[in-house]
Amino acid sequence: MKALVTGVNGQVGKALLATAPEGWTCVALDRAALDLSDATAIARLVEAERPDLVLNAAAYTAVDKAESEPDLAHAINGSAPGAFAAALGLTGGRLVHVSTDFVFDGTSGQGYQPGDPRNPQSVYGASKAAGELAAGEDAIIVRTSWVYAAGGANFVRTMLRLMRERDTLNVVADQIGSPTWATGLARTLWGLALADKTGIYHHRDAGVASWYDFAVAIAEEAHSLGLLARVPRIVPIATADYPTPARRPSFSVLDVSATRAALGDEAVHWRTNLRTMLEEEKALG
């Protein structure tokens, strides 16, 4: 069995390669190997490789920069999934596409269900919503949130750097969501594919948090592992005190009950996965 894995230099792509089931051959694709803004190149690659799966973990993820580069964001996030779906429709095979909580507006008071209406509030969110529609009904679409992994570019590692440099940090406390360890997400992506599911699913770690809560936990866990010499003062602030070009959802908790039922397992709490990731980070040196 063969899978094309895009975004292999990113957190989810690396995790997908690391968790590939026995019997699967993965063709690892980075930006140099495949330009996701080129639909013709996508079609040619799928025709040449004829994969059983395309695991599309690549994306334009610069949320704020997307506000000034909407065409590129939409080409990569919005059009590429459609190009993969069209090509796979000719060769056979299934598309597994990673999406985001940013397709929602953040106004819900309860966890978002897979079938809830999309209402993105940013260029990035709109481009990912377009990608979901382009992927089509035969695809497996998995929305996730606040992804992190050892060695990656993410909130956890940014906080570790700042906590070593500063005595006090200000962190937004009025945006609520759920951290997601990339390894757990990768296992869900493979699991849904092997179970031959279709449609939209959600994946996140168990529990909810604000960015402030997440930062406090990072400091405490990192200090206990010796990654930080001291725990800095962390000050909760409002989103209005930290303006950004792109609007973030104030509440983006995803309901994962349908996903866990489909796979017959349970989500692991985000703090447990955070501790595992930090142990891996420590091992990297």
Show which residues are catalytic: 124
What is the dihedral angle through the alpha carbons of 120, 126, 131, 136, rounded to the nearest 10 degrees? Answer: 50
Q: Is the dihedral of CA 171, 175, 179, 180 positive or negative?
A: negative
DSSP H or E run through 156: helix 155-165
CB 221, CB 279: distance < 8 Å? no
Nearest to 205 by CA among 168, 254, 150: 254
Q: Is the dihedral of CA 182, 19, 152, 35 positive or negative?
A: negative
What is the C-alpha to C-alpha distance for residues 12 and 42, in angstroms, rounded to an integer?
A: 20
CB 68, CB 20: distance < 8 Å? no
What is the C-alpha to C-alpha distance for residues 183 and 169, in angstroms, rounded to an integer?
A: 28
SS3 of 125, please?
helix
